[in-house]
Amino acid sequence: MARPGAACPPPARRVMVAARALLFWALVYSYCGVCACIAGLRLLWSIGRRPGETFRWVVRENPPACLNDPSLGTHCYVRIKDSGLRFHYVAAGERGKPLMLLLHGFPEFWYSWRHQLREFKSEYRVVALDLRGYGETDAPPHKENYKLDCLIADIKDILESLGYNKCVLIGHDWGGMIAWLVAICYPEMVTKLIVVNFPHPSVFTEYILRHPSQLIKSGYYFFFQMPWFPEFMFTLNDFKVLKSLFTSQATGIGRKGCRLTAEDIEAYLYVFSQPGALTGPINHYRTIF
């Protein structure tokens, strides 16, 4: 028998690792099932109340004028040699100035950085990117194409394609996760790191497993593991969930004077109402575990 405090022999250690892995995946899939049941009940409730409205989905044919506002910068595209993907971005400020690279979260796209594009273009070459799978950037069909290694490589390759070897890197939400990992893997490429609304990945992983309240708040991570159903739920009632995310008191932009305009909302609806536009963004989460 091993002494108290002694290292576990290899067979025992393997059993412990296997048990932890089993418990972890049991948690993931159990919570995924709970989230699916809750979403299903909401769907049934919506059908019962307003059956005609529940499945209404309007594809916006024309982009609102704000997406082509010249004060925000110039729409550009770059194709990455290794992946072959074409990325869309909006750039403001003179070429040659220090680069400020902006990575958006979910469910967003380059337009989320409109205020920063205007604010910092006098000092920086400001680039607001559509991440892989979002907006006008190419969206590979398979979820394996959205692994974190691929997303990190995207930023490195884009930086080099823009003619820079370092930048001020700013990320929000899921873009913050990518920004953290880029800074960890390629610290020489990041002169300053600014992350909004996303903790260090290691801290977040430990915290979410130890604090049930955070597990509940991050329930959409588990919900997004299912195929096609999350995309379907977003389209209900003409993207009611999307509208609520940006306008509700709980999650929306509610400070007086900073509310989204009707045109701003239409910009998001234009991008995400296109057929298949939600699959790429949600695929980012389908590889997280």
Residues facing residue 99 across a β-bridge: 125
The reported pLDDT for the residue numbered 218 is: 83
The reported pLDDT for the residue numbered 8 is: 54
End-to-end CA distance of the chain: 36
The reported pLDDT for the residue numbered 255 is: 58
Q: Is the pLDDT of residue 109 over 90?
A: yes
Q: Is the pLDDT of residue 132 over 80?
A: yes
Mean pLDDT of 17-32: 78
Angle at 151 between CA 183 and CA 235, to 5 degrees: 125
Query: What is the pTM (predicted TM-score) of this model?
Result: 0.89
Q: Is the pLDDT of residue 212 over 90?
A: no
Per the prediction, the chain carries an average pLDDT of 90
Q: Go through the domains of the chain in sequence order and give each one's CATH number.
A: 13-58+210-284 (no CATH), 68-194 (3.40.50.1820)
What six digits make up the tokens of 34?
A: 């709970």
Least confident range from 25-39, 165-179, 214-228: namely: 25-39
The reported pLDDT for the residue numbered 256 is: 58
Mean pLDDT of 52-72: 94
The reported pLDDT for the residue numbered 2 is: 47
How far is Cα 153 from Cα 80, in angstroms, rounded to an integer? 10
Q: What percent of the chain has pLDDT over 70?
A: 94
Q: What is the pLDDT of residues 264-280, one digit of tens each?
A: 999 999 999 999 999 99
pLDDT band per the 50, 70, 90 thresholds, residue 7: low
Least confident range from 11-20, 120-129, 253-262: namely: 253-262
Mean pLDDT of 154-167: 97
- The side-by-side arrangement of strands in the sheet containing 99-103 is 74-79, 86-92, 125-129, 99-103, 167-172, 190-196
pLDDT band per the 50, 70, 90 thresholds, residue 92: very high
Selection from 241, 230, 267, 234 nearest residue 109 by Cα: 267
The reported pLDDT for the residue numbered 289 is: 80
pLDDT band per the 50, 70, 90 thresholds, residue 1: very low
Residues facing residue 254 across a β-bridge: none
What six digits make up the tokens of 96?
A: 């040659």
DSSP letter assigned to residue 65:
G
Q: Is the pLDDT of residue 137 over 80?
A: yes
Q: What percent of the chain has pLDDT over 90?
A: 65
